Structures are given as structure tokens and as C-alpha cells.
């Protein structure tokens, strides 16, 4: 804006010795230049503001989308962890049942062996 005003002021000062009509026209021209510079500046500010708003809106949407994906990933991880825990528990139950069955069979076999040994001694 200063680039436009300085030549306009210099032109105004140089034409001060001219007629009133020339001075009025020069003043109108300087006012028009200042108004154009002001409008251009206002448009530039509006454009920068709109671009900033669009950029911030885009960044906000990106963050929202990332947060939603993270929430979904966490939910999926929770479900997978629950399923893994259920599988571990089921495996531990099966292992415990197998150990109990093996111990029962061993106790039965020992009892049968002792019975046979007692019977053999008795006979």
C-alpha cells in the first residue's frame, strides 16, 4: 500500500502549483489509488483468512479421522485380547482335565497292582 501512496503523494505535491481543477483531479486519482490499495489489501486478508480456515478445518478432520481409527484399533485389540484370554483359559482347563484323568488312571493302576500283589501274597 505504501508503494502506491508514496508516488501518489509525490504527484500531489508536484501538482500543487497547478489549477484547482487539476488539483481536484489529482486528489480524486490519489483517493482512487488509495481505495484500490485498501480494497486489494482487504481482499488479500479475506483470502488468507479463508485459506487458513480451510487448512485448519482439513487438519481438524484429519485428526478426527485418526482418532476414530485409533478407537477402532483399540476396540479390535480389546476383542482380540478377550478371545486370546478365552482360548488360554480353555486350554488350561483341558490341560487340567488331562492331568486329573492321568492321575486317576495312575491311581487306579496303582490300586489294581496293589490288589493283585495282595491277592498273589494271599494265595
pLDDT value of residue 95: 92
pLDDT in tens, 90-118: 999 999 999 999 989 999 989 888 888 88
Q: Is-above-0.75 flag for pTM?
A: no
pLDDT in tens, 53-104: 888 989 899 999 999 999 888 888 888 999 999 999 999 999 999 999 998 9
Residue with cell 500543487: 16
The string of DSSP letters for 7-19 reads HHHHHHHHTTTS-
Cell of 118: 495282595
Backbone angles phi, psi at 15, to 5 degrees: -95, 10
pLDDT value of residue 86: 92
Cell of 47: 483470502
Cell of 58: 482439513
- pLDDT greater than 70 at residue 37: yes
Q: In this structure, how many other beta carbons lie within 10 angstroms of the beta carbon of residue 37?
A: 16
pLDDT in tens, 6-34: 555 555 555 555 577 777 787 888 888 88
Q: In this structure, how many other beta carbons lie within 10 angstroms of the beta carbon of residue 4?
A: 15
Amino acid at each position: 500500500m505504501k508503494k502506491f501512496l508514496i508516488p501518489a503523494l509525490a504527484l500531489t505535491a508536484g501538482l500543487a502549483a497547478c489549477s484547482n481543477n487539476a488539483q481536484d483531479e489529482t486528489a480524486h486519482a490519489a483517493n482512487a489509488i488509495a481505495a484500490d490499495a485498501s480494497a486489494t489489501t482487504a481482499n488479500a486478508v479475506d483470502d488468507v483468512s479463508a485459506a487458513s480456515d480451510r487448512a485448519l478445518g482439513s487438519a481438524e478432520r484429519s485428526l478426527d479421522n485418526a482418532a476414530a481409527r485409533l478407537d477402532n484399533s483399540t476396540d479390535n485389540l480389546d476383542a482380540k485380547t478377550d478371545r486370546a484370554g478365552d482360548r488360554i483359559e480353555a486350554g488350561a482347563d483341558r490341560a487340567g482335565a488331562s492331568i486329573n484323568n492321568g492321575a486317576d488312571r495312575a491311581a487306579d493302576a496303582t490300586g489294581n497292582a496293589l490288589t493283585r500283589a495282595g491277592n498273589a501274597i494271599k494265595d
